[in-house]
Chain A
Amino acid sequence: MTWFVIGYYTVLLAASCLAAYFNKRQIFLPLFSLTLVSFVLGIVGGTGALQFVAIGAGLLALAAMISYGFREFLIVLTSDEMAKELRTAPLTAAFGMFVIFTYAVMGIFAPLIAPHGEAEVIASAFAPADENMLLGADQLGRDMFSRIVYGTRNSVGLALTATLLAFILGALAGLLAATKGGWFDQLMGRVADVIMSIPSLIFALLMLSIFGPHIHVIIIAVAVIYAPRVFRLTRAVAGNIVVMDYIEAAKLRGEGTWYLIRREILPNSTAPLIAEFGLEFCFVFLLVAGLSFLGLGIQPPTADWGSMVRENATLISFGDITPLIPAAAIALLTVAVNFVVDWMLWRSAGLKET
Chain B
Amino acid sequence: MGDILGLVGKRLGLGLIILLIISIIIFFMVELLPGDIAQAVLGQGATEDNLRALRKEMGLDQPAIVRYLGWLRGAVVFDFGNSIVTGESVAHTIGERFLNTLFLATYAAVIAVPVSITLGIIVALLRNSIFDRVANVVTLSFISSPEFFLGYILILYFSVNWGMFPAIASLSDDMTLIELLERTFLPALTLVLVVMAHMMRMTRAAIINLLSSPYIEMARLKGAPPWKVIVKHALPNAWAPIINVVALNLAYLITGVVLVEVVFVYPGIGQALVDAVSKRDFPVVQASCLIFAATFILLNLAADVGAILTNPRLRHPK
Contact = CB atoms under 8 A, between A and B. Distances in A.
Nearest to B301: A197
Contacts, number: 138
B269 to A, nearest CB: 11
B205 interface: yes
Interface in A308-354: 309-310, 313, 316-319, 321, 323-324, 327-328, 330-331, 334-335, 338-339, 342, 353-354
A259 to B, nearest CB: 35
Contact of A199 (B30, B255, B285): B255
Interface residues of A, number: 50
Given A202-B289, A209-B285, A319-B160, A197 B18 contact: yes
B285 A282 contact: no
B277 interface: yes
Contacts of A323: 152
Interface size class of B (residues with CB under 8 A): 35 or more
A210 B29 contact: yes
Interface of A: 26, 29-30, 92, 193-194, 197-203, 205-211, 282, 286, 289-290, 293-296, 306, 309-310, 313, 316-319, 321, 323-324, 327-328, 330-331, 334-335, 338-339, 342, 353-354
Nearest to A26: B130
Nearest to B296: A199
A293 B21 contact: no
Most buried by A among B141, B212, B274: B274
B156 A324 contact: yes
Most buried by B among A30, A210, A306, A354: A210
B247 interface: no
Contact of B152 (A201, A316, A318): A316
Interface in B223-276: 251, 254-255, 258-259, 262, 273-274, 276
B296 A197 contact: yes
Given A193-B18, A205-B285, A293-B259, A354 B30 contact: no
A195 to B, nearest CB: 9
B152 A282 contact: no
A319 B157 CA distance: 8
Contacts of A29: 130
B161 A319 contact: yes
A206 B146 contact: no
A324 B151 CA distance: 10
Given A209-B282, A335-B141, A202 B277 contact: no
Given A30-B130, A194-B22, A199 B259 contact: no
